[in-house]
Amino acid sequence: MTRQSVWPPHGEPAAAVVTIGDELLLGDRVDTNRVRLARGLSELGFRVVWAASAGDEEPAIGDALAEAAARAEVVVATGGLGPTSDDRTREAVAARWDRPLREDPRIVAELRARFRSRGYHDLPAANRRQALVPSGAEVLPNPAGTAPGLHLRVPAPPSGEAPRDLILLPGVPSEMEALLQGEVADRLRGRFGDRLRPDEAMVVHTTGVAESVLAGRIEAVLGPEAGVRVAYRPSVLGVELRLSARGEGAGERLERAEARLAPILASFRFDDPSGDLAGAVGRGLRERGLRIAAAESCTGGLVLRRLTDIPGSSAWVTGGVVAYADRVKVEKLGVPSALLSAQGAVSEGVVRAMAEGVARGFGVEVGVGVTGIAGPGGAVAGKPVGTVWFAVAGPAGTTAERRLLPGDRREVRERAAQHALLLVLRALSENPGGGAG
Ligand code: ATP
Ligand code: MG
């Protein structure tokens, strides 16, 4: 029987993450592996207690791995397994735990086959290093690349505790991810089984509301007594919420939290498996048998681009007009010239006329219009950079809205396209009848 680890004293097993590579310390590369590993291990049911990065020198790698092994039962490291001479992770492990490297003939054979299939006659000498395995390590086949992962047990300091699981993965994020989701998850579940306390989690996509505003409203109805953690992942396009709970009754707590949040989130929430608002809009249009066209000024076609990025969108997108110049607004969308000179191109009257004009002109049920000032120039009195007017013309009439969007030109345009899509989604949900009725 294996002796239970005395550290941590209770609860789910502790895990640590080590990322390796000079580029991470120089700031040349964002350490996405750290985030992905931490999240992946948490989702598996570990408590992630420590994370560190080391450069490419052997002693630093050895120190970081040993420190991690002192703090956690499982250490997952990425990077430094590649073919070049600055990839030193194997050597560092060999030196630190006295595990001489030997060449694994099966890895050599696999590497050779892989290179031959790419048209190389022989295995480059540098890649042969990737077949070196510290003694006692198991090889984790890499479905997505050349360097396999490695799994070994190393003694825990202070002695007497259970040995640590040290898992070394390649640095390339897609390869790391493939191994983490597959072989590594299987092994860790097999080894830690009932000690793991996986999260129950639910992701809610929101847009059109600032993170701080959202957080304030959520905290007002969801206190610590709810037993649910809320994580906020903001981006230019919106805030993704991750609600999670652990342990006894986690599922019910999540459901209760979701019900309490429903009224707060109602006008900001959308459902889409990949978190794309355009996908949710597409489903809404399809379900109601409606088609859409867009009249875009400051977004220059971004709304249509978002819509047509969705596979199968030809069933519900008809087309649109990039009406950048006033003349195009008049000639192609039928916006009255008098309206343009009276209110200006960025105005409620013009955006309504754009949305209605494009729906009429394209013979579709839903028209969306966007006109605004993306900046950095172009601001006029009462219309600062970021001012954008939106309109949606649908079966239930036309609605218009003005927003002041933050950010530089690119961000204003992206936020504007997203907000236009949100208004279409709102118009659809207020109009459940649709084309058939
Ligand atoms: P390979 O088998 O491809 O040689 P490796 O284990 O040697 O993998 P590295 O050479 O350290 O890994 O990195 C390979 C690529 O992955 C590089 O482009 C590197 O910038 C990137 N990478 C490495 N570590 C990370 C990380 N922690 N986060 C994001 N990207 C990373
Ligand atoms: Mg490297």
**pLDDT at residue 5 is higher than 70:** no
**pLDDT at residue 8 is higher than 50:** no
Q: Ligand 1: does its nearest atom lie under 6 Å from the Cβ of 173? A: yes
Tens digit of pLDDT for each residue in 157-184? 776 788 999 999 999 999 999 999 999 9
Choose which residue among 29, 90, 91, 177 to substitute to test ligand 1 binding: the one with the highest number of ligand atoms within 8 A of its C-beta. 29
* Closest to 248 in 3D by CA, of 291, 205, 200, 289: 200
**pLDDT at residue 2 is higher than 80:** no
Q: Which ligand is nearest to the CA of 26?
A: 1
Choose which residue among 172, 174, 177 to substitute to test ligand 1 binding: the one with the highest number of ligand atoms within 8 A of its C-beta. 172
pLDDT at 6: 40
pLDDT at 388: 98
Tens digit of pLDDT for each residue in 53-86? 999 999 999 999 999 999 999 999 999 998 888 8
Q: Between 106 and 199, name the one with better pLDDT.
A: 106
**pLDDT at residue 4 is higher than 60:** no
pLDDT at 10: 58
Distance 27 CA to ligand 1 centre (A): 14
What residues contact residue 27 under an 8 Å CB cut-off, 6+ apart? Answer: none
Distance 24 CA to ligand 2 centre (A): 9
pLDDT at 262: 95
**pLDDT at residue 7 is higher than 60:** no
**pLDDT at residue 226 is higher than 90:** yes
Confidence class for position 432, pLDDT limits 50, 70, 90: low
Confidence class for position 384, pLDDT limits 50, 70, 90: very high
Q: Ligand 1: does its nearest atom lie under 6 Å from the Cβ of 172? A: yes
In the structure, ligand 2 is a single-atom ion and the residues with CB under 5 Å from it are: 21
**pLDDT at residue 9 is higher than 50:** no
Q: Whose CA is nearest to atom 17 of ligand 1?
A: 172
Please report the DSSP string for 321-387 in residue order.
Answer: EE--SHHHHHHHH---HHHHHHH-SSSHHHHHHHHHHHHHHHT-SEEEEEEE--SSS--BTTB-TTE
Mean pLDDT confidence for 200-206: 93
Q: Ligand 1: does its nearest atom lie under 6 Å from the Cβ of 87? A: yes
**pLDDT at residue 243 is higher than 90:** yes
What residues contact residue 381 under an 8 Å CB cut-off, 6+ apart? Answer: none
SS3 20: strand
pLDDT at 163: 92
Write down the residue that tokens 């993965």 correspond to. 169
Percent of the chain with pLDDT over 90: 83
Mean pLDDT confidence for 125-135: 92
Q: What is the number of alpha carbons within 13 Å of residue 416 lying toward its C-beta?
A: 35
Confidence class for position 282, pLDDT limits 50, 70, 90: very high
pLDDT at 3: 37
Question: Which atom in ligand 1 lies closest to the alpha carbon of residue 172?
Answer: 16
* Closest to 240 in 3D by CA, of 198, 269, 280: 269
Distance 63 CA to ligand 1 centre (A): 20
Please report the DSSP string for 25-75 in residue order.
Answer: HTTSS--HHHHHHHHHHHHHT-EEEEEEEE-S-HHHHHHHHHHHHHH-SEE
Q: Which ligand is nearest to the CA of 53?
A: 1
Do residues 23 and 32 make contact, with C-beta atoms less than 8 angstroms apart? no
Burial (Cβ within 10 Å: 0-12, 13-18, ≥19) of residue 104 = middle
Please report the DSSP string for 155-177 in residue order.
Answer: PPSSBTBPPEEEEEE-SSHHHHH
Mean pLDDT confidence for 19-42: 95
Mean pLDDT confidence for 366-395: 95
Q: Ligand 1: does its nearest atom lie under 6 Å from the Cβ of 357? A: no
pLDDT at 1: 36
Q: Is 45 left (phi over 0), alpha (psi -120 to 50) or beta?
A: left
What residues contact residue 173 under an 8 Å CB cut-off, 6+ apart? Answer: 32, 33, 36
Q: Ligand 1: does its nearest atom lie under 6 Å from the Cβ of 200? A: no
The mean predicted confidence, pLDDT, of the chain is 93
- Which pTM value belongs to this model? 0.72
Q: Could you tell me whether strands 101-103 and 132-134 are parallel, antiparallel, or unpaired per DSSP bridges?
A: antiparallel
Residue 45 tokens, joined: 């049911």
Mean pLDDT confidence for 408-414: 97
**pLDDT at residue 436 is higher than 70:** no
Q: Ligand 1: does its nearest atom lie under 6 Å from the Cβ of 239? A: no
Mean pLDDT confidence for 101-116: 92
